[in-house]
């Protein structure tokens, strides 16, 4: 549903360099339908609540480094208009992200991506234990062995290009 289009893409090039007015207008109409202002990618799918899909997309963007500490988060109305969903749904997602400590609200200025909280290994394990248990149960249900699950997890981690906190600090 949503694809971000970089300025060096062919469609942008056509708009900037087309000699024909009709071609330019046609390419511009395509751009209006393709270019989106959201700093995270999301494809809404039926089944899961929309606000949860927004929360998951933002978490993914933070984990992959697409959204970084201090980045301004789009306004509720902007996200609502972009995704064509009710503003109350987006507000629910923003409230959830804020309660999880992923967004900070600066009165009169908007929302910003919060600093990642420091956590001990014990806290990390406690937070992930239920998810890991569910993952292991599902893997066993599908007949997967431990090594295959481990390999799958490593592959997905690399595929998403997850950044650790110490990588973020080196990048700055």
Q: Tens place of pLDDT for every residue, the chain, 172 residues?
A: 443 434 433 333 333 444 555 666 555 444 444 445 788 989 999 999 999 999 999 999 999 999 999 999 999 999 999 999 999 999 999 999 999 999 999 999 999 999 987 889 999 899 899 999 999 999 999 999 999 999 999 999 888 877 665 554 444 4
Examine residue 41 and state whether it is found in any structural domain, yes or no: no
Pair (65, 85) in one structural domain: yes
At residue 97, the pLDDT reads: 97
Same domain, 103 and 155: no
Residue where a domain terminates, one of 97, 113, 129? 113
Q: Does residue 91 fall inside a structural domain?
A: yes
Same domain (yes/no): 101, 72: yes
Q: Residue 39 CA to chain centroid, in angstroms?
A: 8
**Same domain for 60 and 105?**
yes
Do 165 and 125 share a structural domain?
Answer: yes
Are 65 and 25 in a shared domain? no
**Two structure tokens written together for 18:** 């087309």
Looking at residue 136, its pLDDT comes to 94
The encoded tokens of residue 77 equal 């109305």
**Contact of 92 with 79, CB cutoff 8 Å:** no
DSSP-assigned letters across all residues of the chain: ------TTSHHHHHHHH-SSHHHHHHHHHHHHHH----SS-----SSS-HHHHHHHHHHHHHHTTSS-TTPEEPPHHHHHHHHT--HHHHHHHHHHHHHTTSEEEETTTEEEEPPPPP--HHHHHHHHHHHHHHHHHHHHHTT--HHHHHHHHHHHHHHHT---HHHHHHH-
Domain that holds residue 153: 121-171
Domain count, the chain: 3
Asked if the structure places residue 45 within a domain, the reply is no
Report the distance separating Cα 35 and Cα 23, nearest Å.
Answer: 18
CATH of the domain at 59: 1.10.10.10
- Please tell me the predicted confidence (pLDDT) of residue 71: 96
Q: Identify whether 65 is part of a domain.
A: yes
Whether residue 133 is contained in a domain is answered as: yes
Residue 77, domain member (yes or no)? yes
Q: State whether 71 and 99 are in the same domain.
A: yes
Predicted local distance difference test score (pLDDT) of residue 13 = 36
């Amino acid at each position: 549903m949503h694809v971000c289009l970089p300025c060096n893409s062919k469609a942008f090039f056509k708009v900037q360099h087309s000699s024909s007015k009709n071609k330019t207008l046609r390419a511009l109409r395509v751009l209006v339908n393709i270019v989106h202002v959201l700093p995270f990618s999301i494809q809404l799918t039926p089944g899961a609540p929309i606000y949860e899909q927004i929360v998951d997309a933002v978490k993914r963007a933070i984990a992959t480094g697409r959204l970084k500490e201090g980045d301004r988060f789009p306004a509720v109305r902007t996200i609502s208009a972009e995704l064509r969903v009710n503003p109350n749904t987006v507000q629910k997602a923003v409230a959830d992200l804020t309660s999880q400590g992923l967004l900070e609200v600066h009165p009169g200025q908007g929302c910003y991506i919060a600093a990642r909280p420091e956590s001990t290994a014990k806290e990390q394990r406690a937070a992930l234990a239920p998810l890991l248990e569910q993952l292991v149960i599902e893997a066993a249900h599908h007949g997967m062995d431990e090594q295959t699950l481990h390999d799958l997890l490593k592959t997905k981690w690399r595929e998403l290009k997850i950044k650790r906190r110490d990588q973020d600090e080196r990048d700055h």
